[in-house]
């Protein structure tokens, strides 16, 4: 089973009301939540480890997880409020305003972490769950206890406006990246980590020095590239679709990518180290196909398996 570890929240999406004004409608979301939903819809075994509220929004999150075949036995339930992310869309591109103080997701502690994880073969970490204390340090410490025996994938999914203490956040991210077998970054993430003027290849090489066996770089409509420790970068083009919005595109890519690796029996440390170019291309293509469906409709709505067959 793949265990997705990180935030689950409510995206407040602007929609027109009966009075011809924009209101906000609550939709389940969060990068890690969306990826778990996406993997579950692709009929791959997946669970979510996240701080989830027992309030009405938390109940909405739990219902969506159940509907999408996601195991919730590692959910950390509390009566703290659910994180809310108000979404603004400009030409289909999303920006966010977060309300996260004292939330169920942010306030998890090390003692809340599950210990019965025998059937978990891979972990995904990332998103805003690594931005804010005390939850960020909790996730990092948990990853440090699991990285020796399981595949770890990290998707930083940087939200610069959400970083309140940059030195602490950079320390968290470096610790996570040193644990990772797979790192997926967007071009924006890569430039945030390495703001100096340098080529993409130079920046990726710096990332590789931290130790991941595979680095994946998504560039929106310009396709996806991947690097192993040796050899030339591997490229897969994006699919041309009519874009409604980009909410959840990267999360759906992650879901397809991980599901493809899992189905091929490659979510093992030894297998990732020697993964072939053809297996990487297959996983990238499946991720691109999943993301293409998501951007062709409103909101973070990952595809079901039959939509990809």
Q: Cβ distance 48 to 65 under 8 Å?
A: yes
Written as six digits, the tokens of 72 are 């919730």
Structural domain for 95, as ranges? 2-308
Per-residue pLDDT, 93: 67
220: Cβ–Cβ under 8 A, 6 or more apart, which residues? 186, 187, 238, 246, 249
Q: Are 294 and 301 in contact (CB under 8 A)?
A: yes
pLDDT score, position 279: 97
The beta-strand segments (E) located in 144-200 are 151-155, 182-186
Structure tokens at 115: 């210990």
User: Tokens 């805003």 correspond to what residue?
Assistant: 128
Long-range contact pairs involving 63-71 (C-beta distance under 8 Å, separation at least 24)? 64/28, 64/37, 65/33, 65/36, 65/37, 65/40, 68/36, 68/37, 68/40, 68/41, 69/40, 69/41, 69/43, 70/36, 70/37, 70/39, 70/40, 70/46, 71/1, 71/45, 71/46, 71/47
Which DSSP letter does residue 89 get? Answer: E
Q: pTM of the full predicted structure?
A: 0.93
Three-class DSSP category at 80: coil
Which of 212, 217, 256 has the alpha carbon at shortest distance from 235?
217
The total of structural domains in the chain comes to 1
Which CATH number goes with the domain that contains 220?
A: 3.40.1190.20
Residue pair 2/39 in contact (Cβ under 8 Å)? The answer is yes
| 3-class DSSP state of 129 | helix
Coil, helix or strand for 84?
strand
The Cα 260–Cα 180 span in angstroms is 18
Residues 6+ apart with CB under 8 A from 32: 4, 5, 6, 7, 8, 48, 50, 124, 125, 126, 127, 129, 251
Q: Give the Cα separation of 288 and 299 in Å (integer).
A: 17
**Tens place of pLDDT for every residue, the chain, 309 residues?**
999 999 999 988 888 777 767 788 899 999 999 999 999 999 999 999 999 999 999 999 999 999 999 999 999 999 999 999 887 777 756 677 889 999 999 999 999 988 778 889 999 999 789 988 899 999 999 999 998 889 999 999 998 877 888 999 999 999 999 999 999 999 999 999 999 988 999 999 999 999 999 999 998 888 999 999 988 899 999 888 888 877 788 999 999 999 999 999 999 999 999 999 999 999 999 999 999 999 888 778 899 999 988
Phi/psi of residue 207, nearest 5 degrees: -65, -40
Q: Which residue is listed with tokens 């703290």? A: 80
For residues 104 and 114, give the distance between their C-alpha atoms in angstroms, rounded to a whole number. Answer: 16
Within 10 angstroms of residue 32's Cβ, the number of other Cβ atoms is 29
267 vs 258: CA distance, rounded Å: 8
Measured CA to CA in angstroms, residue 180 lies from 15, 127, 160, 306 at distances of 39, 15, 22, 31
Q: Which residues contact 142 (CB under 8 A, 6 or more apart)?
A: 5, 110, 113
């Amino acid at each position: 089973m793949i265990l997705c570890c990180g935030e689950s929240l409510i995206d407040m999406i602007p929609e027109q009301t009966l009075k011809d004004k924009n209101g906000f409608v609550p939709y389940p979301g969060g990068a890690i939540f969306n990826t778990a939903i996406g993997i579950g819809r692709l009929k791959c075994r997946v669970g979510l480890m996240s701080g989830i509220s027992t309030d009405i929004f938390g109940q909405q999150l739990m219902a969506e997880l159940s509907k999408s075949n996601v195991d919730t036995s590692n959910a950390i339930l509390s009566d703290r409020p659910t994180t809310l992310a108000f979404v603004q869309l400009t030409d289909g591109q999303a920006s966010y305003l977060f309300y996260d103080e004292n939330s169920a997701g942010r306030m998890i502690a090390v003692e809340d972490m599950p210990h019965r994880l025998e059937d978990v073969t891979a972990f995904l970490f990332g998103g805003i769950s690594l931005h804010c204390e005390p939850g960020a340090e909790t996730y990092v410490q948990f990853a440090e206890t699991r990285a020796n025996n399981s595949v770890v994938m990290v998707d930083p999914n940087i939200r610069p406006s959400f970083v309140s203490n940059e030195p602490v956040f950079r320390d968290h991210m470096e610790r996570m990246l040193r644990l990772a077998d797979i790192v997926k970054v967007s071009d924006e993430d890569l430039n945030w980590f390495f703001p100096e003027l340098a080529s993409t290849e130079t920046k990726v090489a710096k990332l590789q020095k931290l130790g991941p066996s595979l680095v994946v770089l998504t560039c929106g409509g310009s396709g996806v590239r991947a690097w192993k420790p040796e050899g030339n970068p591997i490229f897969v083009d994006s699919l041309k679709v009519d874009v409604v919005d980009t909410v959840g595109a990267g999360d759906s890519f992650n879901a397809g990518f991980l599901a493809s690796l899992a189905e091929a029996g490659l979510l093992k440390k030894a297998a990732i180290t020697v993964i072939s170019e053809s297996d990487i291309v297959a996983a990238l293509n499946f991720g691109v196909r999943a993301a293409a469906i998501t951007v062709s409709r409103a909101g973070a709505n990952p595809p079901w398996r039959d939509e990809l067959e």
